[in-house]
């Protein structure tokens, strides 16, 4: 029965009769009604009581009828859900759908909740690119006022992105901008790639990354004026067009620093800046400058120092003058940091990404940087960090809300080669081991004549400091019929790595190893004498310094990576020697970032200082440059490769588009390599030894680089320009494409 219309009539009840309820107590219904015995109520108040009972979501039907001095309330309860099932789904499994719906077994069925559940399932399919998905909630009546709730799902096909194009871009080509946005065109292996499906929410992300891309390159006026997502006539693909307005590129003009604080010398802070006039303007450079100056303020004991960048625009010469003002910030403190959403990751893993702790002065820039570090962990689907007012106006609470994602992987692989036969590999990797932020990986690769075992563990915050503790174990055994001897090489290496500058890190380590050569079948006197020594142990300490400008990202188009390390063996064991390695890599992009140029210079030296000489398992013998086989150059005794105590290599690379559709993921490359392996410190030769001194080799070639669903692959076609007698050249090889 419908509620009574509001009218100027009042009722007084001495009794309330409730009928139809089976699970819900009468007292609960009276509480919802809000009408007591002996209370005088109007027709409008009776209608309000009806609405309150109905809004409880517990009843399918409700009627309120005055019968003299008795108020009759009749209800029909919603049934209880016996079970929930999903039909027609294959792309999203039942376990995932149960996590989406609010309805649950043994709870009261509510049609509004079921409709919401159906809409949430549709949204989940839309996030995977299936915008045509449809879901309906069906109810199957059972005895004892129970129902089965069935969600009938029509998944539909993925709607792919056929084309991503740009209008209004002059400085950068469509192909360069397509590498920036998250929306990708359908490629050759579209069944294995999910980013070629249309997801509406990704458009906003694409607009933001485009703005960040242009802003980092000095285009301060850039904006996306509109995005058109047009569905094809067949309704199976989308054409996405970004309308952009680039504006002019600005450079840094005058850079000055002023102090509005007593006792704070502006010249000292100006000297700490690395931004220079004439550079392309980038907000990242400004942020890094502010961070550097505020850290200097902390070291100088200046509390609540804030650096305000004041920008003056010069349209005539397209420059931006930057004045850094040292001012006193508001006296606001961090009351606490609240973390939610982390079911596996420990709180301390997230907290250590903050330079700020409870009780410290509040610095919004530091909070933003902490949020970026949390996202960079790659442990979470989303990570939101917000600040709100605390218990007092001078305090704030920092809220961290994260949604975790899978961080582990298990891989299987198989291989075949004419020399090694059939092989297999299995690997395990976990980037957030036990929720502690630790990295653990293990791999086993084996074939008929080779076995390789590796275990690696890294604790990135050893003793709660910015110190990474690493532990590596490796064991390699070879019984190759194509080799002249069998080997066993084992290595155990713990290390500690810590920062010593903004871009520099130093690792100190201990290394213990075992090397064995056996079953020699050749004619070399050197290799025969080295094999006769059997297994030998080594023990030593070492260090490795790296300098990486990519850590600060001051130039998005260029970077430098330098490393230098030494290992000193002789701390016990059978061998005494010093091993030195060095490497320098520089990369830049030219022609509006369409072409990448890279130069790599590396070298190594093994110097034995004790009574023993080096052996083949100690010397360098791998593929140091393209165009030559592994162990295909260097000193020879007769026709047998010995390896060398020294190596040096210079590799020059260029990578460029081939004009193919970008969705193919195929680009081109060209290279020119120079290198040599030389020196053997032994007198056991019974045949002439060649290539003792430095004798350069070189090779030139072209490459096809394919970003495949199985990883980036590089096909190298090489031609040796300079070689020596006995060298083993290689005109083709396939490798994993490395990135800088």
In the chain the domains, ranked by start, together with CATH numbers, are 10-77 (3.10.20.310), 80-154 (3.10.20.310), 160-245 (3.10.20.310), 251-328 (3.10.20.310), 333-404 (3.10.20.310), 483-736 (2.40.160.50)
Q: What is the mean pLDDT of residues 341-370?
A: 92
pLDDT for 424: 87
Q: Which of 58, 57, 69, 65 is nearest to 18 (CA)?
A: 65
pLDDT for 72: 85
pLDDT digits (tens, 9 = 90+) for 653-700: 999 999 887 777 889 999 999 999 999 987 788 888 888 899 999 999
Strand order in the sheet with 160-167: 160-167, 237-245, 223-231
Flag the least confident range among 192-196, 496-500, 539-543.
Answer: 192-196
Of all residues in the chain, the percent with pLDDT exceeding 70 is 94
pLDDT for 303: 83
Q: What is the pTM of this model?
A: 0.75
Q: Rounded to whole angstroms, how far apart are CA atoms 345 and 369?
A: 20
Q: Which of 187, 184, 179 is nearest to 209 (CA)?
A: 179
Q: Rounded to whole angstroms, how far apart are CA atoms 322 and 387?
A: 28
Listed as own residue / partner, the contacts of 454-463 with beta carbons closer than 8 Å and 24 or more positions apart are 457/433, 461/349, 461/352, 461/437, 462/496
Give the model's confidence band at 551: pLDDT under 50 very low, under 70 low, under 90 confident, else very high: low
For helices 43-55 and 26-33, give the axis angle rounded to 10 degrees: 130
In the numeric block, the tokens 């790296």 are attached to: 546
**pLDDT greater than 50 at residue 1:** no
Listed as own residue / partner, the contacts of 346-352 with beta carbons closer than 8 Å and 24 or more positions apart are 346/435, 346/436, 346/437, 348/464, 349/377, 349/379, 349/432, 349/435, 349/436, 349/437, 349/461, 350/374, 350/400, 350/402, 352/461, 352/464
Residues 665 and 188 sit within 8 Å (Cβ to Cβ): yes
- Cite the DSSP H helix spans in 216-363: 266-271, 283-299, 347-351
Tell which wins on pLDDT, 162 or 36. 162
Q: What is the mean pLDDT of residues 54-81?
A: 83
Residues 558 and 587 sit within 8 Å (Cβ to Cβ): yes
3-state helix, strand, coil in the chain (%, to 5): 15, 45, 35
Lookup: tokens for 193: 């790639």
pLDDT digits (tens, 9 = 90+) for 445-468: 988 888 999 999 999 999 889 999
Q: Rounded to whole angstroms, how far apart are CA atoms 176 and 667?
A: 12
Q: Rounded to whole angstroms, how far apart are CA atoms 59 and 204?
A: 42
In the numeric block, the tokens 């009722």 are attached to: 11
Sign of CA dihedral 432, 433, 438, 442: negative
Residues 341 and 402 sit within 8 Å (Cβ to Cβ): yes
Give the model's confidence band at 235: pLDDT under 50 very low, under 70 low, under 90 confident, else very high: low
pLDDT for 417: 59
Q: What is the mean pLDDT of residues 375-395?
A: 92
pLDDT for 45: 82
3-state class (DSSP) for residue 225: strand
> What are the C-alpha distances in Å from 272 to residues 53, 285, 292?
69, 13, 7
């Amino acid at each position: 029965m419908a509620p009574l219309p509001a009218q100027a009539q009042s009722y007084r009840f001495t009794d309330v009769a409730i009928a139809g309820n089976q699970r819900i107590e009468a007292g609960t219904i009276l509480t919802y009604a809000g009408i007591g015995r002996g209370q005088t109520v109007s027709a409008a108040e009776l209608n309000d009581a009806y609405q309150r009972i109905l809004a409880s979501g517990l009843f399918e039907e409700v009627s309120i009828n005055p019968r003299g001095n008795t108020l009759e309330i009749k209800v029909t309860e919603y049934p209880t859900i016996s079970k929930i099932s999903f039909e027609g789904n294959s792309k999203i499994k039942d376990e995932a759908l149960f996590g989406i719906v609010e309805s649950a077994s043994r709870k009261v069925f509510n049609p509004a909740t079921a409709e919401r559940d159906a809409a949430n399932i549709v949204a989940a399919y839309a996030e995977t690119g299936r915008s045509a998905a449809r879901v309906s909630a069906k109810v199957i009546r059972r005895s004892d006022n129970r129902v089965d709730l069935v969600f009938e799902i029509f998944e539909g096909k993925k709607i792919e992105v056929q084309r991503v194009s740009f209008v209004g871009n002059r400085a950068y080509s469509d192909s360069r901008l397509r590498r920036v946005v998250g929306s990708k065109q359908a490629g050759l292996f579209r069944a294995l790639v999910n980013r070629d499906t249309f997801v509406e929410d990704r458009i906003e992300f694409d607009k933001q990354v485009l703005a960040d891309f242009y802003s980092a390159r000095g285009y301060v006026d850039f904006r996306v004026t509109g995005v058109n997502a047009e569905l094809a006539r067949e309704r199976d693909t989308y054409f996405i067009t970004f309308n952009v307005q680039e504006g002019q590129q600005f450079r840094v003009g005058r850079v000055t620093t002023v102090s509005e604080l007593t006792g704070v010398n502006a010249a000292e802070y100006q000297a700490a800046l690395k931004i220079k006039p004439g550079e392309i303007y980038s907000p990242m450079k400004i942020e890094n400058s502010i961070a550097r100056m505020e850290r200097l303020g902390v070291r100088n004991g200046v509390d609540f120092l804030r650096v305000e960048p004041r920008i003056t625009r010069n349209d005539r010469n397209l420059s931006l003058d930057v004045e850094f003002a040292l001012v006193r910030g508001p006296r606001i403190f961090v009351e606490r940091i609240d973390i939610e959403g982390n079911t596996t990751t420990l709180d301390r893993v997230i907290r250590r990404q903050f330079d700020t702790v409870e009780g410290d002065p509040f610095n919004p820039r530091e909070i933003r940087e902490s949020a970026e570090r949390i996202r960079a962990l790659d442990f979470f689907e989303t990570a939101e960090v917000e600040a709100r007012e605390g218990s007092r106006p001078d305090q704030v609470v920092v809220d961290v809300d994260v949604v975790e994602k899978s961080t582990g992987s298990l891989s299987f692989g198989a291989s075949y080669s004419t020399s090694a036969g059939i092989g297999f590999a299995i690997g395990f990797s976990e980037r957030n081991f036990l929720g502690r932020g630790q990295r653990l990986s293990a791999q086993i690769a084996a074939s008929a004549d080779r076995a390789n075992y590796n275990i690696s563990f890294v604790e990135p915050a050893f003793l709660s400091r910015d110190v990474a503790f690493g532990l590596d174990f490796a064991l390699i055994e070879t019984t190759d019929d194509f080799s002249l001897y069998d080997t066993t090489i084992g290595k155990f290496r713990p290390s500690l790595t810590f920062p010593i500058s903004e871009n520099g890190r130093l690792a100190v380590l201990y290394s213990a190893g075992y090397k064995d050569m056996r079953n020699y079948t050749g004619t070399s006197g050197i290799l025969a004498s080295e094999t006769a020594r059997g297994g030998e142990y080594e023990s030593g300490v070492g260090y490795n310094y790296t300098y990486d400008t990519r850590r600060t990202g001051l130039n998005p188009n260029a970077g430098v990576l330098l490393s230098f390390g030494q290992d000193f063996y002789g701390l016990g064991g059978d061998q005494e020697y010093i091993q030195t390695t060095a490497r320098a890599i520089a990369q830049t992009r030219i022609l509006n970032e369409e072409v990448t140029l890279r130069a790599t210079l590396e070298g190594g030296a093994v110097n034995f200082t004790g009574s023993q000489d080096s052996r083949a398992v100690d010397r360098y013998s791998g593929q140091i440059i393209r165009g030559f086989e592994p162990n295909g150059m260097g000193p020879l005794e007769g026709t047998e490769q010995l390896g060398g105590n020294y190596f040096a290599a210079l590799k020059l690379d260029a990578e460029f588009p081939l004009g193919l559709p970008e969705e193919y993921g195929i680009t081109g490359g060209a290279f020119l390599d120079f290198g040599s392996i030389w020196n053997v410190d032994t007198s056991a030769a019974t045949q002439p030894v060649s290539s003792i001194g430095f004798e350069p080799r070189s090779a030139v070639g072209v490459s096809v680089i394919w970003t495949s669903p199985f990883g980036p692959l590089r096909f190298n076609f090489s031609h040796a320009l300079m070689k020596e007698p006995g060298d083993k050249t290689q005109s083709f090889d396939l490798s994993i494409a490395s990135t800088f």
